[in-house]
Structure 1
């Protein structure tokens, strides 16, 4: 599956209508985020049936704040959030974002 970049509340709200999806919040300037993004990309390459999207914090700060506020998930960067049935079912950040942690969270 192609990595889909989102930048607006409208794009995000369309994703929330899905049964489930994985969201990655990425900082373009943080080396830890770059490592976590590589793990996220490896996961997506290995599990291309998982609906996914990412946002770049520097380019979509209002969207990142909106997600944190609406779903009461403290903003972190990098951060992975797995949404199921319209709400966060799991989230983690920094070095804890690995192929294995994503597989465990999503169940594949």
Structure 2
């Protein structure tokens, strides 16, 4: 069967563009929050809060990554927060930006302000693209 796949799938691979991975920046220190807030004056900032032990969070992450197609030069920084490892950072985000904690959750900042936040199936790479 391996030989058949090599022969017959070779045609399918032609013209198929390899999708690049999602350009996540790990959010793993409180000090990053001040830098993120300042950077939002010049770029769109998106923070995805993800629970590594939640099936829904895992599904939303996979869907988001499958749909993410922003150009690598787009003016956006995409941060990934592992809630299990960094709950204190998640709590600070909720307090600082006045957004109730949810998981999974996407928070979008521009000019130091939250311009969009959503959770669960509301998280969409397409919506994020509209906001950039």
Q: TM-score range by the shorter chain?
A: 0.7 to 0.9
Q: Residue 51 of structure 2 corresponds to which residue in structure 1?
A: 27
Q: Residue 17 of structure 1 corresponds to which residue in structure 2?
A: 38
Q: Which moved more, 1:24-33 or 1:7-16?
A: 7-16
Q: Residue 27 of structure 2 corresponds to which residue in structure 1?
A: 6
Does the 8 Å contact 2:51/2:104 carry over to 1?
Answer: yes
* Unmatched runs of 5 consecutive residues or more in structure 1: none
* Unmatched runs of 5 consecutive residues or more in structure 2: 1-21
Query: Which of the residues 49, 63, 74 maps onto 2:100?
Result: 74
Structure exhibiting the larger radius of gyration computed from Cα positions: 2
Number of residue pairs matched by the alignment: 105
Q: Which moved more, 1:92-101 or 1:21-30?
A: 92-101
Give the distance between the partners of 2:90 and 2:46, measured in 1 at CA: 14
TM-score (structure 2 length as normaliser): 0.72
Q: Which has the higher contact order (CA 8 A, sep 6+)?
A: 1
